[in-house]
Amino acid sequence: MKFKKFYLWSLILITAGVAISTSACSSKSSEKLVVSTFGLSTKQMRSDVLNPFSKKYNVKVSTQFGDSSTRLTQIEHNPNSNVDVIELAQNNAVTGAKKKLFKKLDFSKIKNFKYLSKDQQQLAKKTNTVPYTVNSVGIIYNPKKVNIKDWNDLWSDKLKQKISVPDMTTTFGPAMLYIAGDHAGTQVTKDDGTAAFKAMKELKPNIVKTYTQSSDLSNMFKTGEISAAVVGDYAVGMLQATNPDLKYFVPASGTYANYDNVSILKNSKNTNAAYQYINYRLSESVQKKVANTKSLNNAPVNQQVNLSKKEAANKTYGDVAKRAKTIDFFYVNSHISK
């Protein structure tokens, strides 16, 4: 299956850059750690994760921010980079594992690993990347301009030149293809995506642009360029903060889930600090903190964490998590380069 056909429908392709920054830390730090992570909510990432970790473990933390696929590509092309720990979307984590970019993990060094579900532990052992949050895809729209109740509504003639969907290279690009397969009535893995690609071709008149970063949607909504978008739940808070009228929902028919995973680069020279960081990321207190909408809005994977109804809003948690289907990224990634 030629997943790259998806690019032909992309009306715009933005290559996201990355930036290196230094987190606040003690001048007496005895260890160093370079963390490569997502470029969304960087302020909250520093204040709620990186800086507290640096202080607690006396580690000097430097950070690389950017989109998942771009950062993975950089690591792949420069295996001797100074990055120690990398946080990636599940599809990129699977790719990195297949290309043997990560260290083989000693899970006995991650005390909080036992609080993950059996499926999450199995994924970690299979890829040497540890899930630290789960997210899923839904629809965000301006109710003053359009009315959407289900995935199938995206194909309505009423939405001509009104929507934006994730590019195939992004976290939820494969999910968009799975959604198209559902619309066509044939699962992607049943016919190598033939029906899904046909459905995407039928959707093309409604697509204004494809996007590679969720932050790109903010201005498109603000200028009225789009009225609806398919987006990961982790970006909802950011989009509603800049466009208060927007509404987000997960269709009753279900959604597709994705884990964000953390791993240690094969050539990392700061392994001790890297294991401390992964364990810290999985700790109950940190998972609870970053689940806050004013923080990273990350749904917890630590099963010790309980969220209130308000805290669980717009997250892959509770009822939404029960409706979330999985994407076979091993299957998807094996076909992308064909």
Task: For 46-104, write each residue's pLDDT tens digit.
Answer: 999 999 999 999 999 999 999 898 999 999 999 789 999 999 999 999 999 999 999 99
3-13+136-256 and 19-134+259-318 in the same fold: yes
Q: Which residue has the higher pLDDT, 190 or 25?
A: 190
User: DSSP character for 156?
Assistant: -
pLDDT band at 14; cut points 50, 70, 90: very low
Give the tens place of pLDDT for each residue, 148-189.
999 999 999 999 999 999 998 888 999 999 999 999 999 999
User: DSSP character for 283?
Assistant: S
Q: Which residues share a beta bridge with 89?
A: 260
Mean pLDDT of 122-133: 97
Give the tens place of pLDDT for each residue, 302-325.
999 999 998 999 899 999 999 999
Looking at the chain, the whole-number percentage of residues with pLDDT higher than 70 is 91
Mean pLDDT of 258-272: 96
Give the tens place of pLDDT for each residue, 276-293.
999 999 999 999 999 988
Output the pLDDT for position 10: 43
Q: Which residues share a beta bridge with 165?
A: 210
pTM of the model: 0.80
Q: Where are the domains of the chain?
A: 3-13+136-256, 19-134+259-318
Going by C-alpha positions, the residue among 52, 26, 102 that lies closest to residue 267 is 102
User: DSSP character for 172?
Assistant: T
Mean pLDDT of 103-116: 98
**First vs last Cα of the chain: how many Å apart?**
7
pLDDT band at 238; cut points 50, 70, 90: confident
Q: Is residue 185 packed enough to be buried (19+ CB in 10 Å), middle (13-18) or exposed (0-12)?
A: exposed
Output the pLDDT for position 15: 36
- Quick check: 264 pLDDT over 80? yes
Output the pLDDT for position 3: 52
Output the pLDDT for position 328: 84
Output the pLDDT for position 139: 98
Output the pLDDT for position 40: 82
DSSP notation for 174-220: HHHHHHHHHHHTS-HHHHTTHHHHHHHHHHGGGEEEEESSTHHHHHH
- Quick check: 338 pLDDT over 80? no
Contact at 8 Å (CB) between 86 and 58? no
pLDDT band at 336; cut points 50, 70, 90: low
- Quick check: 16 pLDDT over 60? no
- Fold (topology level) of 19-134+259-318: D-Maltodextrin-Binding Protein; domain 2 (3.40.190)
Location of structure tokens 């466009």: 243
Tokens of 45: 């990432």
Q: E strand or H helix at 286, and its extent?
A: helix 284-290
Half-sphere exposure of 44 (CA within 13 A, CB side): 18
The architecture of the domain spanning 3-13+136-256 is 3-Layer(aba) Sandwich (3.40)
Question: Cα separations (Å) of 235 from 65, 121, 150?
Answer: 16, 26, 20
- Quick check: 337 pLDDT over 60? no
b/e sequence 77-109, b meaning 16+ C-beta within 10 Å? eeeebbbbbbbbbbbbbbbbbeeebbbebebee
Mean pLDDT of 25-43: 81
